[in-house]
Amino acid sequence: MSRYDETYAQAQSQPELFWEEAANEIHWYKKWDKVLDHSNPPFYRWFPGGMVNTCYNALDHHIDDEGYGDRLALIYDSPVTNTVQRFTYSELREAVAIFAGALSKLGVGKGDRVLIYMPMVPQTVIAMLSCARIGAIHSVVFGGFAAPELATRIDDAKPKIIVAGSCGIEPGRIVSYKPLLDTAIEIAQHKPQHCIVLQREEGPADLKPGRDIDWSDAVGNAQPHECVPVASTDPVYILYTSGTTGVPKGIVRDSAGHMVALKWTMANTYNTSPGETYWAASDVGWVVGHSYIVYAPLLQGCTTIVYEGKPVGTPDAGAFWRVIADHKVKTMFTAPTALRAIKREDPSAKLLADYDMTGFKALFLAGERADPDTVEWAAQHLRTPVIDHWWQTETGWSITSNFLGLGALPVKFGSSTKPAPGFNLHVLDEQAHKVKPGVIGALSVKLPMPPGCLPTLWKNDEGYVSSYLEDYPGYYKTGDAGYIDDEGYVWVMTRTDDIINVAGHRLSTGGIEEVLAEHPDVAECAVMGVHDELKGQVPLGLMVLNAGVNRPPEEIVHESVQLVRDKIGPVASFKTAVVVERLPKTRSGKILRGTMQKIADNEDYRVPATIDDPEILGEIAEALAAVGYPKQ
């Protein structure tokens, strides 16, 4: 019998009491004056007046208060470098305290920003926790982003120090991070005082004298630093995510609410206890990595895994099962796209038979819609619950899930089950009225949001309000459309804006359009997310050239693809574009991206009544056919 209903009801009826009890699970230097400050709507603050330290809760508490210093905290498993390295809680704290000392020696203190541009190595986690230790605010940038994206984030966060790896390792190639970092600093208006560079033997970098410091020199001269108490509401990190334009949004995470929420989820959502191994196969550059590679497992006293590899090709489609067996993983979290990659190479999951999976109890999926085929495939072969849960960078933890710790609810394939306690979720129509069960509308959370969700955007309260709160007063707009059925199950269908999910990575098609528009021969363009068997969606571009351009269109397409790679990064997976004579528009000039996407995906569509010239749709279909759309 699940305790979900009563738990959800408690959080609805007495939210402050509910979260106060959850808050007692973490260590406080000083407890809060109030559980929730709602004196300044639409801005809400959790646990004001309290003093905490996230690193203390993630490390020191387990060692000094609980006596678990010898327990494994982190396992680095890197098939791409053939390395496995283990850190106990005491060892991890030692490394973190020293690096915190190194940062402090360079003048980094409370409230200063540190940008981290690193691959999946333990030093990335060490750098993040070190910032938290001294009250500095980290901002991790995913390694697959190119220099201009990095520069935008440098200019917004204005870091005092940047911590970077010399390179990342992708199957078959070394990605040199340092030249990208150098270019980004050159482009950015803001200049960091120093860069600490982790030299990796697979691809060491040239250091710039005076500015760049080798990681080993930085820690060689440092003394361990103690945890610095910070206010509950002080940010622990900023994480940039795609907005509806090329300018990313700096999602702020407050210190106390973040810990309280994550700790609650470890027990109640994931059913994971201290001492167990929890693995999120994501990247620390994404929110999943922040919450479930770094913070939540360590806050819960679990062992976490930093995996530098892929689901396939490192070396084969059994890689995930190997990690689970080798490190006795109980609970795993990944994106559906990773499972699709495995399923494509090993459709009957033969490789599973090579591994001892007896300790494995549950697989959680998020990052994009989990297609029922993939979920069923995984459930059939793993013989464990496979749980789709829905969340976003903004919330930091799942808005809907099936809560294993409360007793699982019956699964409906295609639904991410029910709202998490604290999320008062509704479906609204365009006039902000609640709709009936089963009717699709804007999935929106009635304010206040529970702890852990963004309190605002970095130095941009106005942007926070206009992006999320203005359209439906009193609600947070998730940007996803879907419905809630008559049994309260939530079905997340699609984004309502131009955000697409490519292999679980969030991208803005508007951002890609901005880059294409920079090409000197492109007059106008449209980018849309089209269905992809592996990645869920990939961006596809249509471009109209300037009058008088008579170069071969293939050349321009090739240059545009390269431009997106250089400006946004390989992570955009922008490989296909096509030149067309004109784009279909409404009479008021709005490009009909949705209609074109339906043509590319072979979905039924109605010719919009407002279309300027319906004949253009035929031309678009022909152009798309020339680049293989719709796919067979």
Report what 595 binds from ligand COA, ligand AMP, none; CB cut-off 5-8 Å by kind. Answer: none
What does the block give as tokens for 233? 């509401």
Q: Does 310 sit near ligand COA (CB under 6 A)?
A: yes
* CA–CA gap between residue 484 and residue 425 (Å, rounded): 9
Select 192 or 367, whichever has its Cβ closest to ligand AMP: 367
Q: Please state, in angstroms and rounded to a whole number, the distance separating the CA atoms of residues 471 and 493.
A: 20
Burial bucket for residue 204 (CB in 10 Å: 0-12, 13-18, 19+): middle
630 binds, among ligand AMP, ligand COA, none (CB under 5 to 8 A by kind): none
* Binding partner selected for residue 144 from ligand COA, ligand AMP, none, CB under the kind-specific 5 to 8 Å limit: ligand COA
Tell me: does residue 156 bind ligand AMP (CB under 6 A). no
241 binds ligand AMP (CB under 6 A): yes
Q: Among the candidate windows 261-269, 463-471, 474-482, 574-582, which touches ligand AMP by CB under 6 A?
A: 474-482
Nearest CA among 60, 69, 496, 452 for reference residue 251: 452
Residue 241 contact partner, candidates ligand AMP, ligand COA, none, CB within 5 to 8 A by sort of partner: ligand AMP
Q: How many CB atoms lie within 10 A of CB 443?
A: 28
Three-state SS for 496?
coil
Show Cβ contacts of residue 283 under 8 Å, excluding neighbours closer than 6 positions: 120, 142, 143, 289
Binding mask 98-137 for ligand AMP (x = CB under 6 A): ----------------------------------------
DSSP state for residue 382 in the 8-state scheme: H
Q: Of the candidates 269, 282, 337, 393, which one interacts with ligand AMP according to CB under 6 A?
A: 393
Q: Which of 137, 198, 288, 500 binds ligand COA (CB under 6 A)?
A: 288
The answer to whether residues 441 and 421 touch, using CB atoms and an 8 Å cutoff, is no
Which residues partner with 40 through β-bridges?
A: 43
Residue among 28 and 574 whose Cβ is closer to ligand AMP: 574
Instruction: Give the residue, chosen from 416, 456, 508, 537, that forms a contact with ligand AMP under the rule CB under 6 A.
Output: 416
Q: Which of 388, 498, 513, 601 binds ligand AMP (CB under 6 A)?
A: 388
Indicate which single residue of 480, 498, 532, 601 sits in contact with ligand AMP (rule: CB under 6 A): 480
Please state, in angstroms and rounded to a whole number, the distance separating the CA atoms of residues 225 and 104.
8
Residue with smaller CB distance to ligand COA, 299 or 341 = 341
Q: Is 367 in the site for ligand COA (CB under 6 A)?
A: yes
Stretch that binds ligand AMP, among 61-69, 473-481, 512-520, 608-616 (CB under 6 A): 473-481
Sign of CA dihedral 514, 518, 524, 527: negative
User: Counting contacts by CB under 6 A, is residue 506 touching ligand AMP?
Assistant: yes
Residue 143 binds: one of ligand COA, ligand AMP, none (C-beta under 5 to 8 A by kind): ligand COA
User: Which of 18, 390 has the CB closer to ligand AMP?
Assistant: 390
Count of residues interacting with ligand COA (CB under 6 A): 23
Select from 210-218, 331-339, 422-430, 522-530 the region that touches ligand COA (CB under 6 A): 331-339
Q: What is the CA angle 15-271-391, rounded to 5?
A: 60
Give me the least distance between CB of 58 and ligand COA, in Å please: 21
Among 37, 15, 35, 3, smallest CA distance to 423 is for: 15
Q: Which residues of 399-425 are buried (b: 16+ CB within 10 A; e: fewer)?
A: bbbbbbbbebbebbebbbbbbbbbbbb
Site string for ligand AMP, 529-568 (x = CB under 6 A): ----------------------------------------
The C-alpha R_g of the chain, in whole angstroms, comes to: 24
Asked if omega into 630 is within 30° of 0 (cis), the reply is yes
CB closer to ligand COA out of 26 and 75:
75
Helix 15-23 and helix 4-13, axial crossing angle in degrees, nearest 10: 110
For residues 249-308, which are near ligand AMP according to CB under 6 A? 287
Q: Of residues 462-491, which lie at the interface with ligand COA (CB under 6 A)?
A: none
CB-nearer residue toward ligand AMP: 156 or 276: 156
The sign of the CA dihedral 274, 271, 23, 109 is positive
Concatenating the DSSP letter of every residue in 419-445 gives: EPTT--EEEE-TTSPBPPTT--EEEEE
140 binds, options ligand COA, ligand AMP, none, Cβ within 5 to 8 A by partner type: none
Binding track over 333-372 against ligand AMP, x by CB under 6 A: ---------------------------------xxxxx--
Sole window of 33-41, 306-314, 472-480, 525-533 interacting with ligand COA (rule: CB under 6 A): 306-314
Q: With contacts defined by CB under 6 A, name the span among 1-9, 44-52, 475-483, 567-575 that binds ligand AMP.
A: 475-483
Give the DSSP letter of residue 449: P
Of the pair 47, 364, the CB lying nearest ligand COA is at: 364
Q: Residue 132: phi, psi to the nearest 5?
A: -60, -35
Q: Which helix H or strand E contains 125, and what residues bound it? A: helix 122-134
Contacts of 450 (CB under 8 A, 6+ apart): 11, 15, 19, 261, 420, 421, 422, 423
Check residue 492 for interaction with ligand AMP (CB under 6 A). Answer: yes
Task: Please name which of 125, 127, 172, 147 lies closest in space to residue 305, comparing C-alpha atoms.
Answer: 125
Q: Is-contact 629 530, C-beta < 8 A?
A: yes
Among 15, 42, 101, 143, binds ligand COA (CB under 6 A): 143
Q: Are 140 and 114 in contact (CB under 8 A)?
A: no
Interacting residue ranges for ligand COA, rule: CB under 6 A = 143-144, 168, 170, 175, 282-283, 286, 288, 310-312, 335, 337-338, 341, 367, 503-504, 534, 570-571, 573
Q: What is the contact surface with ligand AMP in residues (CB under 6 A)?
A: 241, 287, 366-370, 388-393, 416, 478-480, 492, 495, 501, 506
